[in-house]
Amino acid sequence: MLEVPNHDQKINEHYGQGNLATAILEALRSAGKYHNLTEDDLIPADQFHIGGKAATIELASLANITSNMNILDVGGGIGGPARTLASTFGCKVEVLDLTEEYCRVGEQLTVKTEYRDLVSFRHGSALDLPYSHRCFDLVWTQHSSMNISDKNRLYSEIYRVLKSGGKLAMHEIMSGKNSPIHFPVPWARHPAISFLSQPEEIRSLLLTLGFKEIAWQDETDQAIESFRKAMKASDNSIESPLGLQLLLGKDYKQMLQNQLRNLEEEKIAVIKAVFEKVEA
């Protein structure tokens, strides 16, 4: 058995619940959606990012995703965005995630939604992508860089596996003007596994690595509005058995409250961007 680095172990402890598959399947039964499961039936649990499915579609449209693309979703969790891309655009998507349980659960859900021919899962690290050079048309990251301290290596690896002219599509939480942030948050219960960079640092890094900027949008204000609406809706409705509590645990409400507070106090920013790989 390979020794798991301390950081990787902490990440698995934060995201892994141990019985996630059972919990989701029981919740689906309770909701009467266990059979003939559709991609949309899983939205309450698998669109694990600000803006939900709409944000995924918006980023995909910004990146001009087409059916003939081969896409890598780095840190794609249990596969919500990947299944959305597959169902909406007909493209192939491989999800790479550091949390082994997420990969197992993602595979099971994908089989039940009948996207197994388009969506696959692989357990691995974003800092050592288990792929050859120039094999993907697009690399997708949606709220997956916050646990990674070595941003240079992350984006260097992404650059390596992209084909010439391939794209990086990203929708990420970054550091705001006023640090530190309030914990716990969905990606970390404590600072030891939270690594946020300033937006301009990431923008400059990507350009230095050889990427060409196609689009760069600060989505912080939109994120605040989206989060406020989501929080208000949850306060006025009965909690769904199929919700983020399955992924985040008992303290998920505090995490979401802190997420909104961090946004409102400009402690975090939300960036949507598309870059193209340019080779000399």
Q: How many CA atoms lie within 13 A of 203 on its CB side?
A: 15
pLDDT computed for residue 5 by the predictor: 58
DSSP annotation string for 152-201: HHHHHHHHHHEEEEEEEEEEEEEE-SS-SPPS-BTTBSSGGG-----HHH
Query: What is residue 237's predicted lDDT score, i.e. its pLDDT?
Result: 58
Confidence (pLDDT) at 82:
97
pLDDT score recorded for residue 2: 37
Query: Is 72 in contact with 79 (CB distance < 8 Å)?
Result: no
Instruction: State the CATH architecture for 6-277.
Output: 3-Layer(aba) Sandwich (3.40)
For residues 50 and 40, give the distance between their C-alpha atoms in angstroms, rounded to a whole number. Answer: 16
How would you write the pLDDT of the chain (280 residues) with one tens digit per residue? Answer: 334 457 788 888 888 877 898 898 888 888 777 777 888 888 888 888 999 999 999 999 999 999 999 999 999 999 999 999 999 999 999 999 999 999 999 999 999 998 999 999 999 999 999 999 999 999 999 999 999 999 999 999 999 999 999 999 999 999 999 989 999 999 999 999 999 999 999 999 999 999 999 999 999 999 999 888 877 777 665 667 788 888 888 898 899 999 999 999 999 999 999 999 998 6
Q: Per-residue pLDDT tens for 240-270? A: 778 888 888 889 889 999 999 999 999 999 9
> What pLDDT is stored for residue 196 in this prediction?
98
Four-point Cα dihedral 236, 240, 245, 250, nearest 10: 70
Q: Are 79 and 46 in contact (CB under 8 A)?
A: yes
pLDDT at site 230: 79
pLDDT value at position 4?
46
Longest dimension (CA), the chain: 56
From residue 100, how far is each of 2, 60, 119 by CA, in Å?
14, 26, 16
pLDDT of residue 1: 31
* Domain boundaries along the sequence of the chain: 6-277
Residue type at 76 in one-letter notation: G
The backbone torsions φ and ψ at residue 214, rounded to the nearest 5 degrees and listed phi first, read -100, -40
pLDDT of residue 36: 76
| pTM for this prediction | 0.94
pLDDT attached to residue 236:
64
